[in-house]
C-alpha cells in the first residue's frame, strides 16, 4: 500500500502481521499514538512495525526507530508495492534490554514477488522497545 496513506485510514479486521488476531487486539493497540508505544517485547514491536509498513503509518515507524539509527524521513512506497505476509522465524532475548528477531516479509511489485529476510536488533530504553538495525540476508 502506498505510504502516503493517512494514519486515519479504516482499520483492517485481521491484523496484517499474520497472528490471526483482530487488528484492534493485535498491532492496532500499539498504533494508537505516543501513549500506546509500549510493545511488551521486540517481537511484538517488529510485528507492529510490519503492520505499520503495510498500512503506511510512517509516524509510527519513525517513533519506534532508535534515534541513533533513525532516518530523518521515510520515502513513500514505490507505486504498486503490495505486502503479502510476515513469518517470524526466531525471537530471543540477549539480556534485559536487548532482543533480536529473525523474520521474512514477503511483498510483490510489478508482478514480481520478493522476500526480505532480516535479523533485526532491538533495544529497550526507559521501558520502551526500539528497532535499532538489522542484517539482511
- CATH of 23-136 given 3.10.450.50, 1.10.10.10, 3.90.1200.10, 3.40.50.720: 3.10.450.50
Q: Where are the domains of the chain?
A: 23-136
pTM, entire model: 0.88
Set of cell numbers at residue 103? 523474520
Q: pLDDT tens track of the chain, all 137 residues?
A: 333 333 334 556 999 999 999 999 999 999 986 666 689 999 999 999 999 999 999 999 999 999 999 999 999 888 899 999 999 999 999 999 999 999 999 999 988 999 999 999 999 999 999 999 999 98
Instruction: State whether the Cα torsion 54-60-64-70 is positive or negative.
Output: positive
Amino acid at each position: 500500500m502506498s505510504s502516503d496513506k493517512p494514519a486515519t485510514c479504516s482499520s483492517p479486521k485481521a491484523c496484517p502481521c499474520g497472528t490471526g488476531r483482530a487488528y484492534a487486539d493485535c498491532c492496532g493497540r500499539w498504533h494508537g499514538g505516543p501513549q500506546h508505544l509500549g510493545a511488551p517485547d521486540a517481537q511484538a514491536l517488529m510485528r507492529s512495525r510490519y503492520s505499520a509498513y503495510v498500512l503506511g503509518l510512517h509516524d509510527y515507524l519513525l517513533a519506534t526507530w532508535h534515534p541513533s539509527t533513525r532516518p530523518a524521513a521515510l520515502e513513500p512506497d514505490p507505486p504498486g508495492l503490495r505486502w503479502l505476509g510476515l513469518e517470524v522465524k526466531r525471537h530471543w532475548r540477549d539480556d534485559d534490554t536487548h532482543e533480536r528477531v529473525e523474520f521474512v516479509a514477503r511483498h510483490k511489485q510489478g508482478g514480481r514477488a520478493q522476500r526480505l529476510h532480516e535479523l533485526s536488533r532491538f533495544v529497550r530504553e526507559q521501558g520502551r522497545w526500539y528497532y535499532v538495525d538489522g542484517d539482511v540476508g
